[in-house]
Amino acid sequence: MARASHWTFTQDDADNITRILQLFLQETNSRSAMLVDRAGQLVTTVGEQPQFDATAFATLAAADFSANDQLARLIGETDFTTLFHQGERDSMYVADVARRLILVVLFDTRTTLGLVRLRLKAAVTELTAIFERPADADAGFDAAPGILAGAEDDIDRLFS
């Protein structure tokens, strides 16, 4: 079997991401920020814990972003780096991070789109620095020892 491509989020990664996003939420008075990988998997949520199904939300947000990426290409753009969905009370702003993740910010009338957009640039730059670390070509950035190394028997037991 070929080496599976995967990436690992260590506790350090999670702490750094949380620190960056918490500061962003404070500065902009936004409600919450979610980091989602391009394949639709939720990496982390910071701020108000969502009252909706966050897993489904992450999947739909990633699909939305990917669909828009293709729309961009059809009109001759390489991509749309950000998306904005405006609601009556709640809105969401979605931005690309290092071409591997998307950052979804939920905010309401306590802030403005301009402020969110302004501060988001700095947050995205900081997040990009985390995710653009040199990567092993096969394994993403597997900094931590592989949790599944030698776990063949455990896997067999899980399905027995």
Partner 1 sequence: MSVINYASREINCKIVYYGPGLGGKTTNLEHVYARVAPETRGKLISLATENERTLFFDFLPVDLGTIRGFKTRFHLYTVPGQVYYNASRKLILKGVDGIVFVADSQVDRAEANIEAMQNLYDNMSEYGYDITRMPFVIQYNKRDLPNAASIDELDQILNPGFEVAETGRQKPLEDPNRPGTMLVQQLESGEWVERAPTVEAVAVAGDGVFDTLKIVSKLVLKSLAASS
Find out whether 47 and 32 touch, Cβ atoms under 8 Å. Answer: yes
Shortest Cβ distance from residue 110 to partner 1 (Å)?
Answer: 28
- Residue 27 found at the interface with partner 1 (CB under 8 A): no
Asked whether the CA dihedral 145, 150, 154, 155 is positive or negative, the reply is positive
User: Rounded distance, CA 50 to CA 15, Å?
Assistant: 20
Shortest Cβ distance from residue 116 to partner 1 (Å)?
Answer: 25
Contact track, partner 1, 29-68, x by CB under 8 A: --------xxxxx-xx--------x-xx--xx--x--xx-
Shortest Cβ distance from residue 90 to partner 1 (Å)?
Answer: 20
Shortest Cβ distance from residue 111 to partner 1 (Å)?
Answer: 27
**Residue number with CB closer to partner 1 (115 or 140):** 140
Find out whether 32 and 50 touch, Cβ atoms under 8 Å. Answer: yes
User: Closest Cα partner for 97 from 128, 136, 118, 122?
Assistant: 128
| Touching partner 1, residues 121-150 (CB under 8 A) | 138-140, 142, 144-150
User: Rounded distance, CA 118 to CA 80, Å?
Assistant: 17
User: Closest Cα partner for 19 from 47, 40, 54?
Assistant: 47
Binding site for partner 1 (CB under 8 A): 1-11, 13-15, 37-41, 43-44, 53, 55-56, 59-60, 63, 66-67, 70, 138-140, 142, 144-152, 154-156, 158-159
